[in-house]
Amino acid sequence: MKSYLQELNDVQRAAVINTDGPVLVIAGPGSGKTRVLTYRIAHLIEEGVAPWEILALTFTNKSAREMKSRIEKVVGNKANRVWAGTFHSIFARILRVEADKIGYASSFTIYDTDDSKSLLNSIIKEMNLDTKVYAANGVRSRISSAKSNLITPKAYKENKELLLQDKMSKRPYIHAIYAKYMERCKKAGAMDFDDLLFQMFRLLHQNPDNVLEKYRKRFKYLLVDEFQDTNYLQYAIIKKFVKYENSSENICVVGDDAQSIYAFRGATIDNILDFEKEFKALKTFKLEQNYRSTDHIVQAANELIRNNQKQIPKKIWSDKGEGQKIQVIQAITDKEEGKRIADVILEQKNRFHIKNNEIAILYRTNSQSRIFEEYLRRYNIGYKVFGGLSFYQRKEVKDLIGYLRLTINKRDEEALKRVLNYPRRGIGKTTIDKISALAGETGKTMWECLQLVKVSARAATAINNFVKAIMNFTRKAEGSNAYEVAIHVAKNSGLIAEMQKDNSLEGLGRIENVNALLDGVKEFVENDEIIDEAIMPDKTLTSYLQNIALHTDMDTQAEETEFVTLMSVHSAKGLEFKSVFVVGLEENLFPSFMSMESKEGLDEERRLFYVAITRAEQYLTLSFARGRYKFGKLRNDQPSRFLNEISPQHFDTSLSVGGSMSLSSSNREERVTSGVKGNFKRRGTVASPKFAVDPSTFRPDSPTKVQTGMKVLHLRFGEGRVISIDGAVDNRVATIMFQGIESPERRIMLKYAKLQIL
């Protein structure tokens, strides 16, 4: 037996060596998923499959790098020839090669969220629409949802249900904005993140005999990591590659339905649940041994997730011993919760010698971090909050990148608007508006209109100098690598000279950020990784810009070690820590109030809690506050229903540090629900809900009929008025102000809500 196969347990080995035909690997938390995926690829290569005939799709660049690193340990440098990367990065590479087939230049720009919002704001203003009603974020979400469901602008305009939803939310012109947005992106030679998938499908669908057939022949084996996180469009592209006449269907998907937590991004859990319906010859392997966590943590997770009805049955187990029981902390207020958590962290550091980098505080919403930061600072415990402003979103970084983008793509409207008058050169907003208007009237790009617009002599001179500078940068890019161009642009654009005028601490920080960006460009150029010209990036500026445009937050984390990690549970997926604190376990917070009106919503929240607790290796602490401040008022809260779905035997019976609550088998229910009478009964059950109206006379109306301003009736909350309606196509959410209840303002997902119109 080959040496790497000896490192696997029986089920892992079977998943690795069964290489032909469709395979589904259900991988529980800490079960060696990455090892199975990477060894499967290594085994394919060892069995004679050419590495460039293997396509492996992931959700983060970090995962792809780790995958290649592990494969390399088995097969050597051949690992670099495997097509391994995120959906967006792999499809961007293919689109670069085939762009002309769908009317794009290979140097197309990739718009980030800010670029998209800026363009949408421009379109909304040009159409004289109310920017408060047509908020860019909401419109962008609507367009993103349409693309993820393969709905073109034309199809959107013809879809009566979508138009009715828009009309009811008082945004009847979204279809027109969508059409203009796509036109402007095309005109600017740009694609947003959704387009990298949308245009990829279009490329394959419209070119079946050349492009699609070419990549079907190239990719003999397809592997997908975190398959439970795929959306409708990603799965549609996957099927293009492997579902066709006489196909060997050599596809292997790896994932865990119990860790499907991204429905808000369009992820479809049905993709993994119904996979066997699509591929009849499917072989399924369940990785159920957890190598990460001790038994109390694993069994608590099993008991929790058992409450979800729609799932693939499995029982995770661990041989790492019982370990420490789960500690539960009850606090009077959220402020006390912050102090209690800091107390326990200090105790664990002193008593068990746990390092800062082995500790994580996980919360449902990013806004919860403030109190924990406050107490960690008081205790002089180093910490880092993830989910803040990304390095690549800092103004000075985006300014230099704007120049670099314009250097290779003159049609890039957002980059042009960003740098045209920065540093200031006498081209004011009035001039920029004239250029934009002329571009709209003539159908030309803003770049083409720069020297056509009628402006003052001073502005004309400034524009001419700007054009000469950009053309100089472009000539430099034609024969130089990315670093040589970036240094040249940074010096000659005036950016560095402008920043050097500011001698403040903040000013010096901005210069440091620009230097850090330039260091990153140099590192990119000097990377000695073996390059396959057809699939790997070269050292040009175009490749560099694609590389950074496709970074994720988790890819750019610094490799520091001396901080406690603070992050949302969504951000923690895939990570592990010796000690984990899951905080804010209260009804309407975790589970979120947004999920309370539907079984599907609660199931996803339960999966999210499952992900949270399975990040812990040895120590797991759960906390909740009986009172939490919101909008300046202390609100009474109930403990999360999820606490009652875990057996008392897994909770610590000893008193927590600082007098915080402990749980014992005999009085656990009393302690969990102290101060919150009648909300919880025995484990795993919830008291029957109290109705505000008589259910026998209640007649709910169709969700599509609910409109802003209407009076409605809800079984539990009684009478209320609809304040607003927002959200994506299939996930419209109504904000309703109810009468005579605590926390009267509620947000309810309409497709699951039962509302009677009065």
The catalytic site residues sit at 33-34, 225-226, 259, 615
Which of 62, 714, 616 has the alpha carbon at shortest distance from 318? 616
Sheet strands (E) in 185-340: 190-192, 221-224, 251-255, 283-287, 327-333
Backbone angles phi, psi at 619, to 5 degrees: -125, 125
- Asked if residue 165 lies in contact with residue 389, where contact means CB atoms within 8 angstroms, the answer is no
Write down the residue that tokens 């109190």 correspond to.
371
How many CB atoms are closer than 10 A to CB 311?
Answer: 18
> Can you tell me the distance from the alpha carbon of 86 to that of 109, in angstroms, rounded to the nearest whole number?
18
- Token duo for residue 69: 């690193």
Q: Which amino acid is at 353?
A: H
Q: Which structure tokens are listed for 652? A: 């610590």
- Count Cβ atoms below 10 Å from residue 213 Cβ, excluding itself: 13
In the sheet where 83-86 sits, what is the strand order? Answer: 83-86, 54-58, 221-224, 251-255, 23-27, 283-287
The one-character DSSP state at 693 is: S
Sign, CA dihedral 37-42-43-47, equals: positive
Question: What whole-number distance in Å separates Cα of residue 372 and Cα of residue 563?
Answer: 13
**C-alpha closest to that of 474 among 540, 392, 558, 418:** 540
Question: Helices (H) and strands (E) in the chain — how many of each?
Answer: 29, 20
**Which residues, including other chains, have CB under 8 Å from residue 546's CB and lie 6 or more apart?**
89, 92, 93, 96, 110, 537
Contact 402/417 with Cβ under 8 angstroms?
A: no
* Residue 131 to residues 139, 140, 434, Cα–Cα distance (Å): 10, 13, 21
Exposure on the CB side of residue 155, measured as CA atoms within 13 A = 7
